[in-house]
């Protein structure tokens, strides 16, 4: 059975087959688990040395777990990384190359022509709802913070203890929903977008390429790459795109937005909230 045919993670395979392994293979399996975060950066011979077993034992372990060899294990780990699982698969990252890659991702994100539509819709909306989950939530919260400087009636969710349906039910033809949908999205994601679109609201999806299956339900898709050579996804492009959208809304609303900025600054001073 190949790794491609079995989506079960490596650690799950080890747990399932552990009772069938020889003592030497169990020692080798324990070494794989101890080094799981950067396993793909090793060679098979290095892992055998770490475990204190022969290369033949390590090869038998791979076959027992359903892999043809360590190259297939690496492919399996890359597949998991592409789904958003945090782990390093390319060795120690080259920081100069990483910076160049991030810059390219940012440039691609902020050069999309659809940004103008997003800005126009958000500036003119009766209300703006912003949704994000897990890592996406921090970016959603940042957009809410920035838009609130320029206009009112901006909310973010999901709020703890509140169902998302409560937010969606308030949407209508004059509303805009901005959804951050980076990989490892909640299972309700597709049905949520469909329900939001049915309200007549404009739906803006900001997401990485894995969200392409959901594009049919949205008014606009703004793509942001999050994958890097690091173990965790990067939201640098998404954060920059967020600032570009908020800046556009501030500019679009003109004097009304700048008056609001002044009132907020005065409120900060009056209550001593900000240094």
Residues 52, 46 contacting (CB under 8 angstroms): no
Map tokens 């539509």 to a residue: 117
- Per cent of the chain over pLDDT 90 is 56
Name the token pair of 211: 């969200």
Count CB-CB contacts under 10 A for residue 58: 25
- 232: phi then psi, degrees, rounded to nearest 5: -110, 155
Name the token pair of 263: 């009132």
- pLDDT at site 242: 98
pLDDT tens column, 118-171: 999 999 999 999 999 988 999 999 999 999 999 999 999 998 877 888 889 999
Residues 151, 263 contacting (CB under 8 angstroms): no
Task: Please spell the DSSP secondary structure of the chain, one letter per residue.
Answer: --TTT----HHHHHHHHGGGS-HHHHHHHHHHHHTGGGGGGS-HHHHHHHHT--HHHHHHHHHHTT-SSHHHHHHHHHHHHHTT-----SSS--HHHHHHHHHHHHHHHHT-TTHHHHHHHHHH-SEEEEEE-THHHHHHHHHHHHHHHH-S-EEEEPPTT--HHHHHTT--TTEEEEEE--SS--TTHHHHHHHHHHTT-EEEEEE-GGGGGGGGG-SEEEE-----SSSS---HHHHHHHHHHHHHHHHHHHHHHHHHHHHHHHHHHHHT---
- 98: phi then psi, degrees, rounded to nearest 5: -60, -45
Q: pTM of whole model > 0.75?
A: no
pLDDT tens column, 161-199: 778 888 899 999 999 999 999 988 888 999 999 999 999
What's the topology of domain 10-82? Arc Repressor Mutant, subunit A (1.10.10)
**In CATH, what is the architecture of 98-271?**
3-Layer(aba) Sandwich (3.40)
- pLDDT at site 6: 42
Counting beta carbons within 10 angstroms of the beta carbon of residue 92, is it exposed (0 to 12), middle (13 to 18) or buried (19 or more)?
exposed
- pLDDT at site 3: 37
The domain segmentation of the chain, as residue ranges, is 10-82, 98-271
- Per cent of the chain over pLDDT 70 is 92
What are the Cα distances from residue 78, in Å, to 3, 31, 72, 120? Answer: 11, 19, 10, 39
Q: Out of 8-17, 88-97, 188-197, which region has the weakest mean confidence (pLDDT)?
A: 88-97
């Amino acid at each position: 059975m190949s790794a491609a045919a079995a989506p079960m993670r490596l650690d799950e395979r080890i747990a399932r087959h552990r009772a069938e392994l020889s003592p030497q293979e169990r020692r080798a399996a324990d070494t794989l688990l101890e080094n799981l975060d950067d396993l793909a950066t090793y060679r098979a011979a290095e892992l055998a040395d770490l475990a204190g077993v022969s290369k033949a034992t390590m090869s038998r372990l791979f076959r027992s777990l359903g892999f043809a060899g360590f190259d297939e294990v690496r492919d399996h780990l890359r597949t998991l990384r592409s789904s958003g699982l945090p782990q390093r698969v390319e060795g120690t990252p080259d920081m100069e190359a990483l910076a160049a890659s991030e810059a390219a991702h940012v440039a691609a994100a902020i050069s999309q022509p659809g940004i103008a539509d997003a800005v126009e819709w958000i500036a003119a909306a009766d209300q703006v709802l912003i949704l994000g989950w897990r890592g996406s939530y921090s970016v959603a919260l940042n957009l809410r913070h920035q838009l609130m400087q320029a206009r009112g009636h901006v909310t973010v969710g999901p709020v703890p203890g509140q169902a998302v349906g409560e937010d969606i039910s308030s949407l209508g033809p004059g509303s805009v929903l901005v959804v951050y949908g980076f990989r490892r999205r909640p299972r309700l994601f597709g049905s949520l977008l469909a329900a939001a679109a049915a309200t007549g609201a404009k739906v803006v999806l900001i997401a990485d390429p894995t969200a392409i299956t959901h594009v049919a339900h949205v008014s606009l898709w703004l793509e942001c790459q999050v994958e890097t050579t690091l173990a965790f996804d990067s939201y640098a492009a998404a954060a920059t795109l967020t600032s570009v959208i908020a800046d556009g809304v501030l500019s679009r609303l003109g004097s009304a937005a700048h008056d609001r900025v002044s009132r907020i600054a005065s409120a900060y001073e009056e209550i001593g909230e900000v240094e």
